[in-house]
Structure 1
Amino acid sequence: MNKEEMIKDLGKEVFPIGNENIEYAQYFVGDSYLNVLSMEGVIIGNVTFAPGCRNNWHIHHGGGQILLVTGGTGWFQEWGKQPRKLKTGDVVHIPAEVKHWHGAASDSWFAHLAIEVPGDNKSNEWLEKVSDEEYNNLNK
């Protein structure tokens, strides 16, 4: 599916999709796109995932993250907890220091705004990939 078909699949485009997420591609399985909407005060990025794309397990140190789902169907999971299926309009609050991952369902594009919660000494720690076995079991 090309970018135009993806936009149609997601529905009305709320924010521009952005460019291929080359800067963080090593931390994703599959294709993703990133459009940084704000770097002032609060960092906000529009992240779009192709079907089957997900990011690695990771931790936001010093400040958490809020996800606002703007299109498609996806997944979110905190370490040690059951995965949560996400749809347009869902909000996910991720506290600092919580290991987690998020990404698209296998059969849907997925888009969310990623809002960085302000904090001190902020950094992201990128960890292992979500295994194909773990991920494929979600999409059965």
Structure 2
Amino acid sequence: MTTVRLWTDAEAEADPRVKAVFDDIRATRKSDFINNIWRALANQPDTLDRLWAGLKAVMVAPGSLDPVVKEMIYIAVSSANGCGYCVHSHTAAAKAKGMTGAQHEELLAVIGMASQTNALVTALQLPVDQQFLVES
């Protein structure tokens, strides 16, 4: 259960700042759907605006990484952070952007392997090999 009220479309329409962000989300995504994260953040319009602007800058703006790769990285980080909501929403986004079933299976294998080796290296408290250190 959520810890804050999720804004309805009618409530968002009545608040110019929230309406502007919701309208931009719909235009950017070419969809009428507004995720619960944005509906929850409507309670804090400054945070809503800042996070949406940041998400657009990182995830929507063209860059060196393919949009599917960005979504797959988001899935991996969300898995590591234990954010089920983000795993689900970004898996859906990755699939919508073309992630195949085979890519998803391989991504899950990489996440599982990284989690296992990270835990072992942490438990072993291994020093970083000199060859891996970046010289400035």
TM-score clears 0.5: no
TM-score (norm 2): 0.26
Greater RCO between the two (CA within 8 Å, min separation 6)? 1
- How high is the TM-score relative to the length of structure 1? 0.25
The structure number with the bigger radius of gyration is 2
User: Which structure is higher in helix share?
Assistant: 2
